[in-house]
Structure 1
Amino acid sequence: MSDTKEVLDLVQEEKTLVDVTPKLERFWVFYPHILKLNTLLVGAILAQIVSGFDGSMMNGLQSLVPWQQFFDHPTGGRLGTMSNGVTIGTLIAVPFASLMTDAIGRRFTIIVGCIIIVIGAILQGAAQNFSMFIGARILLGVGGCWASTAAGPLLAECAYPTQRPTVSAFLLASWPLGSFVAALVTWGPYRSDLKTSNWSWRIPSLLQGFFPLLQILLAFLGPESPRYLISKGREDEARAFFTKYHAAGDSEHPVVKFQMAEITAALELEKNDTLSLKNYLAWFKTKAMRHRLFICIVVPAFQQLSGNAIISYYLTLILNSIGITDSLTQLKINIGMTTVSLTADVISAIVVSAYRRRRLFLTGYTSMLLVYIVFTVLSAENQRKNFTDHSLASGVVAMIFVYQIAYHIAAPIAIAYIMEVCPYNQRATGSMLYQLSANVVGTFNNYVNPIAMAAINWRYYIVWICQLVFQISIVYFVFPETAGKDLEDIAEVFGEVGARRAIANSAGLTEKMEAIEHVESV
């Protein structure tokens, strides 16, 4: 009972998990236990790299003559289907993603997903026709969906307490890393003797499986989520995790006891809740859960509906529309764009803990809105002058780069925010909903964008301006602030009982019962 008494005292003193977490007097890399933990978590952090690689690779492949010739110069719906292959695979896999994550664990779901990605990459690189290429891309989507769904909860539940927002934010930072690598590997063959060979597109396709191989190794060696372990009755393993990675081997440190108590209390609350949270219908039974459901759906949708999908997958069409048609120039712009994206995303992930969640969303969306207005005006004027004014074309390209910075102000916090608003028993489902929403909207983008771009050109950008205004309004009026709260106490922002209050109540009851038993024995 000494552990319970110690945790109760901390709760009554209004201490939070951050308060009891060992303070780092030096940079975290100088602490072996945190360095090892963060290194192993790279296996989960890289879960978005396949998606980022894919968007940039498809942009680059459209600039390669051998790829265009091999697939008979795809346009419109056919090009949309090729781009949508990964999305189709994701939609097929989504219904099973959260079930796998909760059944076999976050870590093994990542491993299974990455194995499927490697198989898909091999088949994509060896594709002999349109159907084989699409089939391989569907496998990439299936594996990527499972790995990404498990990665979010694993990072949120394993990260060192003071680093949780940053570590979770790095998950989406792996997207521009994949984009950057793909831009390089599609540009490289273009500058070599492979320029006229089918290997100019086969090599990038095969390399899409490289990082998943690294993920398999790191996930195999890495830890399982302690929250998952406790939910399965494996408390000793969870305590060993906290002792090893959060307390540097000190099993009696308050950070170990506090987290064990918080998680146990939170899981007990969810278990006793009449909602039966494992049931999907739980999302509709209370105002708080409906609020969470809305957030889980609109956050990833907003990530796809900010105008970024046009630039990510159809940069070639944009550049063609402003008179920049040289393939080498387009590839260089793609590399530059992905470099800016990667830099902006990494910086945003590093500083994310210093800013409130709502502020990041509002700043990012407002910045994107302003950029898109300028972007649209320049594109319209460039077309009006029949593409003769090169300064206008340069201005459009500049806005593409500025947009990347604006987009990545808000992007890294998206998955971290979803993981925060979801209770443990619905965290895997919340991650699945993120994948589902993002890919449904992605399907729309990949089919509609090339058709709309061909039909109305720059006027299509006005749609995204209106959408960004709508997104700013929703964030301002609907999104709650979660910064500064323990993962198990965020329920309070939805009007529910948090873990610390539950600890206080249950511990108080325990003390009363002990007092009664003592009196009776006397």
Structure 2
Amino acid sequence: MAVGPAATVGNSADGFIHLVDPNRKWYNNKRLIILHAWLVLLLITASTNGYDGSLMNSLQSMGQWTDFFHNPQGGTLGLLNAIQNIGSLAGYPFAPYLSDGIGRRPSIWIGAVCMLAGAALQTACMNIHQFIGARFLLGFGLSIASNAAPMLVTEVSYPTYRPQFTSLYNTLWYSGNIIASWTAFGTANINNHWSWRIPSLLQAIPSVFQFFLIWFVPESPRFLISKGKEQQALHILAYYHADGDEQDPLVQYEFQEIKTAIRMDQETQKNVGWKALVATKGNRRRMLIIVAIAWFSQWSGNGLVSYYLNKVFDTIGITDHSIQLLITGILAIWNLCWAVFASFQVERWGRRFLFLTSGAGMLLFFTLQTICSAQYAIHKTQSAAHAVIAFIFLFYAFYDLAFTPLIVSYTLEILPYSLRAKGFNVFNFTISVALIFNQYVNPIALKNIAWKYYIVYCAWLAFELAFLYFFIVETKGRTLEETAALFDGEELTQLQQATAAVVSEVRHEDYDEKSSDPGLKA
């Protein structure tokens, strides 16, 4: 490890935190307020995904929807739930090339166009084939927008707010979940096809905002620097992070660190392209963690609740559709509150603590849920059925500590810029594969072995907890480039040394300028 200035960079956040103006807060700086408004426009991409996940769960509880599509069951029902993720799979080959090729903003706009078309077709469809096609189109657009939007969030955020905002991205899945759940609860009383067409139409709202407003959002400085547009990148960093002062020490630190990291990646061919994802020990460890947490996020028992909650209710004797929809809506609000709470604790408690606490809690309460489900199935004990509902809520409280806020933010921050789009695409691809697997297997397993299927998840959750303990690396208190380089050993030292040299120069220039000011001397 280097000494002097380089050592300062290596001490967690100390390399940049003293450069941050302590008086510049999110609530008292006009340009930060504007920046955060644009970030919210990006964050609602996750709302579309959450809306869709809850929408299908709610539609299955609507008699009007099941009657219109002739009560789909088995493989047909599995296809209806999985087709959106199949559409996402079709979009994944294009997503990283669009994000890295034409930029984050144009990619989000293209995704919004596809999702608008899908929502329109789903609202107007007259048969199940059109409904399936609409959901495929929604998934295709979502894969493109979901690749670019969280990367843009993490790459333009003010450094001290980046972990929280990036963690909020996946958290806002529940905002869409809440809107869909309560919209369906309200429209379920309409005795015609509009009971399910209205929720389908409202799914387009986030995409409408993005279609018209995305061009006002600042482009990623990292993307611009990678394309040789350094002055434009510097202007964006200065405008939003230092009130337009391009010589601000924090802006210069960010600018030089980004340039250094991108140059190091471009000069080393092993850090570029798809093969680079597994070319080095550090990258292989990254991909193992990324694939694992992506799979865990959908294969921890939550898939049973997210897409087949009505089937779970059936196994414990809760068959009234109104009660099912009511519980779904309350659960969505509960999840959002816990996930938002966890998003604001990522820098205080650390990623590793949140992951381990989440894994232990999920294992405990899913096991208790399994025991109570068995008690109801065998003895028809009503108190056991009520306990299942309680344990579902407690299970999700712990799930939301890590597997809602952290899976996207942790994935993005451990990937270097050159691999960020491709690595994040692998993350999204893994989630889609896990979802498709769940959506086909879960209804069949629940139908055939009911509560006994929960035992499989109990064993899997124990494995998850062991994996998290041995593999999750703490990344608290580092810049984006330092966090990404954390897996690369010597390359981290090189990055720290190169950036520290520039920071030292900036400090001297800043000192000389202040020393030459007569007012300061006096």
TM > 0.5: yes
Q: Verify: 1:249 aligned to 2:244, yes or no.
A: yes
Cα offsets for 1:118-157 (capped at 9, x unmatched): 1100101111111110100001001111111111211111
Q: Percentage identity across aligned positions? A: 37
Letter in 1 for 2:28: F
Kept in 2, the 8 Å contact 1:41–1:219? The answer is no
- Cα offset for 1:356? 1.3
- Cα offset for 1:216? 2.8
Aligned-partner Cα distance in 1 for 2:157–2:282: 26
Aligned-partner Cα distance in 1 for 2:284–2:497: 23
Correspondence for 1:457: 450
> Which ranges in structure 1 are unaligned for 5 or more consecutive residues?
1-7, 510-522
Kept in 2, the 8 Å contact 1:482–1:493? The answer is no
Correspondence for 2:44: 46
Give the stretch that moved more between structures: 15-24 or 125-134: 15-24
Aligned-partner Cα distance in 1 for 2:360–2:334: 19
- Structure 1 496/308 Cα, relative in aligned 2: closer, same or farther at 3 Å? farther
Letter in 2 for 1:352: V
What secondary structure is seen at the aligned counterpart in 2 of 1:497? helix
> Which ranges in structure 2 are unaligned for 5 or more consecutive residues?
506-522
Letter in 1 for 2:205: F
- Cα offset for 1:67? 0.5
- Structure 1 60/120 Cα, relative in aligned 2: closer, same or farther at 3 Å? same
- Return the match for 1:119 from 80, 104, 117: 117
Q: Verify: 1:407 aligned to 2:405, yes or no.
A: no
Aligned-partner Cα distance in 1 for 2:212–2:240: 19
Correspondence for 2:514: none
Letter in 2 for 1:348: A
- Cα offset for 1:295? 1.8
What secondary structure is seen at the aligned counterpart in 1 of 2:44? helix
Correspondence for 1:283: 277
- Cα offset for 1:57? 0.8
Q: Verify: 1:397 aligned to 2:385, yes or no.
A: no
Letter in 1 for 2:476: A
- Structure 1 23/216 Cα, relative in aligned 2: closer, same or farther at 3 Å? farther
Kept in 2, the 8 Å contact 1:97–1:149? The answer is yes
Q: Verify: 1:503 aligned to 2:499, yes or no.
A: yes
Correspondence for 2:268: 273
Kept in 2, the 8 Å contact 1:371–1:403? The answer is yes
Correspondence for 1:375: 369
Kept in 2, the 8 Å contact 1:152–1:168? The answer is yes
- Structure 1 13/422 Cα, relative in aligned 2: closer, same or farther at 3 Å? closer
Aligned-partner Cα distance in 2 for 1:442–1:492: 31
- Return the match for 1:336 from 330, 337, 340: 330
Letter in 1 for 2:462: V
- Structure 1 222/164 Cα, relative in aligned 2: closer, same or farther at 3 Å? same
What secondary structure is seen at the aligned counterpart in 2 of 1:29? coil
Cα offsets for 1:27-67 (capped at 9, x unmatched): 52221111110101112111211221111111110111110
What secondary structure is seen at the aligned counterpart in 2 of 1:16? helix
What secondary structure is seen at the aligned counterpart in 2 of 1:20? coil
- Return the match for 2:468 from 475, 482, 486: 475
- Return the match for 1:300 from 286, 289, 294: 294
- Return the match for 1:201 from 196, 203, 215: 196
- Cα offset for 1:249? 2.1
Correspondence for 1:165: 163
Kept in 2, the 8 Å contact 1:150–1:431? The answer is no
Letter in 1 for 2:103: G
- Structure 1 226/325 Cα, relative in aligned 2: closer, same or farther at 3 Å? same
Give me the TM-score of the superposition, normalised by structure 1: 0.92
Correspondence for 2:516: none
Letter in 2 for 1:70: F
- Cα offset for 1:329? 0.6
Letter in 1 for 2:240: Y
Greater than 6 Å deviation, 4+ residue runs: 505-509
Kept in 2, the 8 Å contact 1:357–1:482? The answer is yes
Cα offsets for 1:65-117 (capped at 9, x unmatched): 11011111111111110001110100000111101000111111111101110
- Return the match for 1:235 from 230, 236, 239: 230
Letter in 1 for 2:198: I
Aligned-partner Cα distance in 2 for 1:219–1:293: 31
- Cα offset for 1:468? 1.0
- In the TM superposition, 1:428-467 aligns within 5 A as 428-467=421-460
Aligned-partner Cα distance in 2 for 1:319–1:291: 40
Correspondence for 1:347: 341
Correspondence for 2:15: 16
Correspondence for 2:74: 76
Letter in 2 for 1:361: F
- Cα offset for 1:168? 0.2
- Cα offset for 1:11? 4.5
Correspondence for 2:488: 494
Letter in 1 for 2:195: S
Aligned-partner Cα distance in 2 for 1:105–1:160: 20
Aligned-partner Cα distance in 1 for 2:472–2:392: 28
Letter in 1 for 2:390: A
Kept in 1, the 8 Å contact 2:252–2:503? The answer is no
- Cα offset for 1:506? 8.6
Kept in 2, the 8 Å contact 1:345–1:409? The answer is yes
Aligned-partner Cα distance in 1 for 2:291–2:17: 29
Aligned-partner Cα distance in 2 for 1:507–1:356: 27
- Return the match for 2:154 from 153, 156, 161: 156
Give me the TM-score of the superposition, normalised by structure 2: 0.92
What secondary structure is seen at the aligned counterpart in 2 of 1:245? helix
Aligned-partner Cα distance in 2 for 1:262–1:175: 32
Cα offsets for 1:475-519 (capped at 9, x unmatched): 11122221112111121343241222233579999xxxxxxxxxx
Aligned-partner Cα distance in 2 for 1:291–1:334: 37
Give the stretch that moved more between structures: 389-398 or 155-164: 389-398
- In the TM superposition, 1:210-225 aligns within 5 A as 210-225=205-220
Kept in 1, the 8 Å contact 2:6–2:501? The answer is no
Aligned-partner Cα distance in 2 for 1:211–1:508: 44
What secondary structure is seen at the aligned counterpart in 2 of 1:224? coil
Correspondence for 1:325: 319
What secondary structure is seen at the aligned counterpart in 1 of 2:219? coil
Correspondence for 1:99: 97
- Structure 1 496/129 Cα, relative in aligned 2: closer, same or farther at 3 Å? farther
Aligned-partner Cα distance in 1 for 2:386–2:431: 31
Kept in 2, the 8 Å contact 1:481–1:493? The answer is no
Kept in 2, the 8 Å contact 1:41–1:218? The answer is no
Letter in 1 for 2:199: P
Aligned-partner Cα distance in 2 for 1:295–1:218: 35
Correspondence for 1:133: 131
Correspondence for 1:310: 304
- Structure 1 422/46 Cα, relative in aligned 2: closer, same or farther at 3 Å? same
Cα offsets for 1:166-213 (capped at 9, x unmatched): 00001011101110000011011123xx1x211111111111111111
Kept in 2, the 8 Å contact 1:60–1:186? The answer is yes
